[in-house]
Chain A
Amino acid sequence: MTAQAQGTKAPWSRILVQKDVLAGLFLIAVALLGLWLSRDYQIGTALRMGTGYVPRLLCWVLLGLGVIVLLQGLRAGAAEFGPFAEFWWRPFVFVPLSLLAFVYSIESLGAIIASALLIAVGAFAGRDMRPLEVVATAAILIGLCWAIFIWGLGLPLSVWPEW
């Protein structure tokens, strides 16, 4: 975990990229965001708690915990590999995008097209994807979903585009 080069101080970037440091920063950021968002909420008293009482209290606690985690991370020194060493941008981008494709097409274009779009976009997230396989998978899955959700359970999903 601590692989510091002999005789040299660990560079800031190495320390920053350590998971506890990042986690601590994340928590602090969320806590500060929460405190800022709730800045106008009524706090009230313990007896009559306002809208902001419990949220702000929790944000302060979260802030404190975030600082502790950050300090723990800094104390642990530089990491050999950052937590995102294996990062590959494709899944990170295309998995959420596939869901977005679904979101923006389900209501206007119906479930079948939305599902096809989800699979089409989502396919870019994978390794060694072969187009024919994806098409076949799409056909099977869409058929399966139709059978289960629309025919089997009778859910009120619009299947085809509303033209």
Chain B
Amino acid sequence: MGEFFSNLAIGFGVALTPVNLLFALIGCLVGTLIGVLPGIGSVATVAMLLPLTFYLEPVSGLIMLAGIFYGAQYGGSTTAILVNLPGETSSVVTCIDGHQMARQGRAGPALATAALASLFAGCIATTLIALFSPPLAKVGQSFGSPEYFSLMVLGLIAAVVLAHGSVVKAIAMVILGLLLGLVGTDGQTGGERFTFGLTILSDGIGFVPLAVGVFGVGEIIANLMSPQQGRSIVGDRIKELWPSRADFRLAWPAAVRGTAVGSILGVLPGGGATLSSFAAYVVEKKLARDPSRFGRGAIEGVAGPEAANNAGAQSSFIPMLTLGIPGNAVMALMIGALTIHGIQPGPQVMTERPTLFWGMVASMWIGNLILVIINLPLIGIWVQLLRVPYRLLYLAILLFSAIGVYTVNNSAFEVLLTALFGVAGYIFLKLEMEPAPMLLGFVLGPLMEENLRRAMRISGGDPMIFIERPISLGLLIAAFILLILVALPMIRAKREEAFQEG
């Protein structure tokens, strides 16, 4: 227990410095902004701003990027409630009851509930991270290469299984990502792979052009093709902000349940904000005394999912920070950010760089507070921003993408790659090939190969080592079970049903 408090003390010591407070604020503001604006998501934004963190201390950079991530969750709720447009995928569920509440003149309470539920969830999630990371990291430290390899396999399979859409296609995307990650020089043998003889590719494909291209530019192309939908913004003047006592009584248990759902699902790879918010909505609907209220402005339909998506977003940091395993696309980028600062992600991060680790954790709590403080007063501004037509917005996104990518390595070539990946990203979107598993595979690819090679060297070339070692065996069995579960028709139907709720 004493350790818990001393760790948090280190963390707050770092997080409360003026520099880090500033970057937390910037991250939260930018995050809210892109969360509010549809057509630009947190993956592309984090990828774009990642290069700017090179000039900062690692912890400051990570604080800012993290702020963008969970800030986007807050921003997404605002648009979901006011405009019935989810700024982020995790806010889709909030649209359902949140917008109905706005229509009934209760936009204020809806927004306040969303913010408070998120704050509550954020605090709890941060505490959980502080509590569970040290033991988890200790487990991770006993991992050898075979265990790591199996863990990564489990992580990728879980990410695929829990994610949207066809499992086979998602696994194929993971493999595609793995292959793209292997482009460049083979560290072991010095041989060039897939480089077409271009020296510029011998260091591999950068993850920034890949992420910005596939997630950012691809989406722009797709958005420009679909006809613009008119947006009806509710509530030019938001009257009372505060929820009534009756609202409160219904909302707070939902927030607690949502936090629980989010904390558990967030830790699982493929989990995180979106899955958590969907699951929480289903839970609330099932537990409600009068389920017919849902879809018509039930406040639990806002409180539960909002708490869940914030808890989910933050707990998805746990596997990344403690084991170096990314659970979703943004975490994959965070790992990239760490690698570029020369920090090897894994359980040793906590022991070798406690200020980085605990500073980040403490900053998340502070970030939640910042978000509540800035969001409610600034809602008017966000609403005005929504009036900017997409035909001007996309130019801004394109320009920032180009400059952002260019400044990574002062490389125009990478902007070229971004254009290529943009086209690919559009195609992936239309063919329903999930890009997130590809990004996960891309980031993990080189690591997996290294662990595989080491494992083979340990075992003298015998693949049985993965099964002989108990932890590794356990992880592989878990992955196998997940695959079987998804193949079973009964679970398949439930899964599709769950995804259709939104």
Tell me the A98-143 residues at the B interface (CB within 8 Å). Answer: 98-100, 102-104, 106-107, 111, 114-115, 118-119, 122-123, 125-129, 133-134, 137-138, 141-142
Tell me the A52-70 residues at the B interface (CB within 8 Å). Answer: 52, 54-55, 58-59, 61-62, 65-66, 68-69
Residues of A with C-beta under 8 A to B420: 96
Given A99-B402, A99-B422, A86 and B456 contact (CB-CB distance below 8 Å): no
Q: Nearest CB to that of A111 among chain B residues?
A: B403
Residues of B with C-beta under 8 A to A61: 175
Kindly identify which residue among A58, A83, A96 contacts B423, using a CB–CB cutoff of 8 Å.
A96
Residues of B with C-beta under 8 A to A100: 416, 419
Given A95-B398, A137-B392, A145-B400, A51 and B193 contact (CB-CB distance below 8 Å): yes
B398 and A103: CB pair below 8 A? no
The count of chain B contact residues (Cβ–Cβ below 8 Å) is 65
Is A23 engaged at the interface, CB distance under 8 Å to the other chain? yes
Q: Nearest CB to that of A106 among chain B residues?
A: B412
Is B176 engaged at the interface, CB distance under 8 Å to the other chain? yes
Secondary structure at the A interface, as helix, strand, loop or mixed, is helix
Given A41-B191, A96-B423, A106-B406, A129 and B172 contact (CB-CB distance below 8 Å): no
B395 and A119: CB pair below 8 A? yes
Kindly identify which residue among A68, A102, A141 contacts B168, using a CB–CB cutoff of 8 Å.
A68
Kindly identify which residue among B182, B399, B423 contacts A115, using a CB–CB cutoff of 8 Å.
B399
Residues of A with C-beta under 8 A to B380: none
B172 and A66: CB pair below 8 A? yes
Is A84 engaged at the interface, CB distance under 8 Å to the other chain? yes
Instruction: Tell me the smallest distance from the CB of B22 to a CB of chain A, in Å.
Output: 13
Kindly identify which residue among A47, A125, A134, A157 contacts B461, using a CB–CB cutoff of 8 Å.
A47
B399 and A118: CB pair below 8 A? yes
Contact with A along B179-216 (1 / 0, CB 8 A): 10010001011011110100000000000000000000
A95 and B225: CB pair below 8 A? no
Residues of B with C-beta under 8 A to A55: 179, 182, 193-194
Q: Nearest CB to that of B194 among chain A residues?
A: A37
Residues of A with C-beta under 8 A to B402: 99, 102, 114-115, 118
Pick the most buried of B226, B396, B412: most chain A CB atoms within 10 A of its CB.
Answer: B412
Instruction: Tell me the smallest distance from the CB of B62 to a CB of chain A, in Å.
Output: 18
B221 and A95: CB pair below 8 A? yes
Is A92 engaged at the interface, CB distance under 8 Å to the other chain? yes
Q: Nearest CB to that of B186 among chain A residues?
A: A51
3 interchain residue pairs of minimum CB distance: A47-B461, A51-B191, A91-B224
Given A55-B193, A99-B398, A100-B419, A91 and B175 contact (CB-CB distance below 8 Å): no
Residues of A with C-beta under 8 A to B175: 58, 61-62, 65
Pick the most buried of B192, B399, B410, B426: most chain A CB atoms within 10 A of its CB.
Answer: B399
